[in-house]
C-alpha cells in the first residue's frame, strides 16, 4: 500500500519532515510546495476532484508516485467531508499542515455565500478537530486574510478589531477565531498568518492584478483593445507571493504558535496599479481602461494596509519586492506567456532579491510551458 510505503520511508528517513498543503494547486500552494521541496520536505498536497485538470501551477514539479525517491504526493479530497479529513491526518501524521484551501474570491462569495462558509470557515474547523482527535503533534498554519479587517481604520495590526464586509471575510474571521480556540483550549500548535494582498504571475486570472497584467499583454499582442474594471479607488497593500509563503514557513518554525500580520506596510490604489502596468509596457492606460458596475462589490473595502511590526521583530521577515517591482514581474510574465519578448526587468528583480528556489525559470518559464502542455523537470 502507498500509505505503508510512505510510513516506512518516513521512519527510515529519520529527520525527513512531512507537510500537508491544502490548496496546493493555487498560487500560494504551488509556491509553498516548491519552497518545502527545496528544504527537503516530503510534501502531500490536497486537491479537489474535477472533470478537468486543474494542476497547471504544479505540473512542472509533479513527480511520478511510483518513483522510489518521490517527495511530492497528491491526494484527492474534500474539506466538507469530516471522515476523509480524519483518515488523511491518521494515515500521514504530518509534522506541519498548511491550510490554504478556500473559496477565496471576494466578489464570488456574495454569489455563493453558503459554499464559501462551508469550505472557507467550517473546513478549517474540521482540520483542527481531526488533528485534535488523532493526537498528532502536527503544527497547523491557518491562512487568514486582510479582508477580515474590512472597514477597520488603517494601518491594521494583530490588535485591530475585525469588521468583515463580505461572506468570504466573515468565513475567514470564523476560521481565524476557531484556530485560536483550538490553540488556547486544546493546546494545539495552531498559528495564523493574516496575509495582505500578495500577487504573482500565478495569481488567478479573475483577480484584479492579474486581470490587468494579462490585458496589457493581450493589448500588446493585438488580441484586445479594452479592459473593464470595477472600483479604481480601492487601496490595497500588495506584495510578492513567494515572499509570503516564506513567512508561512517561518511562522511554523517558532517555539510558540501565534498570529502574525504579513504585508509591506504600503498601500496603492487599483488606479495606480493600472497606471504602472500600462506605463511599464509603454501604453496610455486611459485609451484602454473602462469601468463597469458588474465588477463592483455590494460592500467595498476602501483601504487595507498592514502594520507588520510584529513579523519584522519576531520572525525577521520583511518584504524585498516593492510595488513597482511586483508590477514589472507580473507584466513581464504575461508578456512572455503571450509569446512576446518582455522588457526583462522582472527577471533581474528575481535574480537580485529572491532565493534560488524562485528563479524566473521556476516561477515563470516552466509554468508557461506547463500551461501549454510542455512541462519539464529541467
Q: Mind telling me the catalytic residues?
A: 145, 147, 168
Query: Using CA atoms, how far apart are residues 238 and 199, in angstroms rounded to an integer?
Result: 7
**For residue 364, what is the DSSP state?**
I
Query: Using CA atoms, how far apart are residues 89 and 319, in angstroms rounded to an integer?
Result: 33
- Return the sign of the alpha-carbon dihedral for residues 206, 211, 213, 218: positive
Query: Using CA atoms, how far apart are residues 188 and 257, in angstroms rounded to an integer?
Result: 8
Query: Using CA atoms, how far apart are residues 362 and 61, in angstroms rounded to an integer?
Result: 9
Q: What phi, psi does 298 have (nearest 5°)? A: -60, -35
What burial class does residue 335 get, using C-beta atoms within 10 Å of its C-beta: 0-12 exposed, 13-18 middle, 19+ buried? buried
233 with 270: CB under 8 angstroms?
yes
Query: Using CA atoms, how far apart are residues 108 and 95, in angstroms rounded to an integer?
Result: 33
Query: Using CA atoms, how far apart are residues 64 and 74, in angstroms rounded to an integer?
Result: 10
Amino acid at each position: 500500500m502507498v500509505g505503508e510505503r510512505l510510513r516506512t520511508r518516513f521512519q527510515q528517513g529519520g529527520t525527513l519532515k512531512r507537510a500537508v498543503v491544502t490548496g496546493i494547486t493555487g498560487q500560494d500552494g504551488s509556491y509553498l510546495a516548491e519552497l518545502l521541496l527545496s528544504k527537503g520536505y516530503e510534501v502531500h498536497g490536497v486537491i479537489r476532484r474535477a472533470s478537468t485538470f486543474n494542476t497547471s501551477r504544479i505540473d512542472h514539479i509533479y513527480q511520478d508516485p511510483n518513483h522510489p525517491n518521490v517527495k511530492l504526493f497528491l491526494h484527492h479530497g474534500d474539506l466538507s467531508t469530516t471522515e476523509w479529513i480524519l483518515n488523511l491526518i491518521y494515515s500521514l501524521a504530518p509534522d506541519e499542515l498548511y491550510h490554504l484551501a478556500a473559496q477565496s474570491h471576494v466578489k464570488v462569495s456574495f454569489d455563493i455565500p453558503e459554499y464559501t462558509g462551508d469550505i472557507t470557515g467550517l473546513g478549517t474547523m474540521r482540520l483542527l478537530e481531526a488533528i485534535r482527535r488523532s493526537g498528532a503533534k502536527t503544527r497547523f498554519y491557518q491562512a487568514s486574510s486582510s479582508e477580515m479587517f474590512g472597514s477597520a481604520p488603517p494601518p491594521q495590526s494583530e490588535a485591530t478589531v475585525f469588521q468583515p464586509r463580505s461572506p468570504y471575510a466573515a468565513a475567514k474571521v470564523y476560521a481565524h477565531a476557531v484556530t485560536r480556540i483550538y490553540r488556547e483550549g486544546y493546546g494545539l500548535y495552531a498559528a495564523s498568518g493574516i496575509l495582505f494582498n500578495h500577487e504573482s504571475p500565478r495569481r488567478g486570472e479573475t483577480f484584479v492584478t492579474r486581470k490587468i497584467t494579462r490585458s496589457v499583454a493581450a493589448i500588446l499582442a493585438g488580441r484586445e483593445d479594452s479592459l473593464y474594471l470595477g472600483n479604481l479607488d480601492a487601496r490595497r497593500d500588495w506584495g510578492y507571493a513567494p515572499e509570503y509563503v516564506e513567512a508561512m514557513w517561518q511562522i511554523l518554525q517558532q517555539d510558540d504558535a501565534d498570529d502574525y500580520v504579513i504585508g509591506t506596510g504600503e498601500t496603492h490604489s487599483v488606479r495606480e496599479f493600472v497606471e504602472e502596468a500600462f506605463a511599464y509596457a509603454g501604453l496610455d492606460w486611459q485609451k484602454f481602461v473602462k469601468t463597469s458596475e458588474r465588477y463592483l462589490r455590494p460592500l467595498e473595502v476602501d483601504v487595507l494596509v498592514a502594520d507588520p511590526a510584529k513579523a519584522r521583530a519576531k520572525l525577521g521577515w520583511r518584504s524585498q519586492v516593492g510595488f513597482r517591482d511586483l508590477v514589472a514581474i507580473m507584466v513581464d510574465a504575461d508578456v512572455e506567456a503571450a509569446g512576446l519578448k518582455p522588457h526583462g526587468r522582472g527577471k533581474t528583480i528575481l535574480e537580485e532579491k529572491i532565493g534560488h528556489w524562485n528563479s524566473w525559470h521556476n516561477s515563470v518559464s516552466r509554468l508557461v510551458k506547463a500551461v501549454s502542455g510542455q512541462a519539464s523537470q529541467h
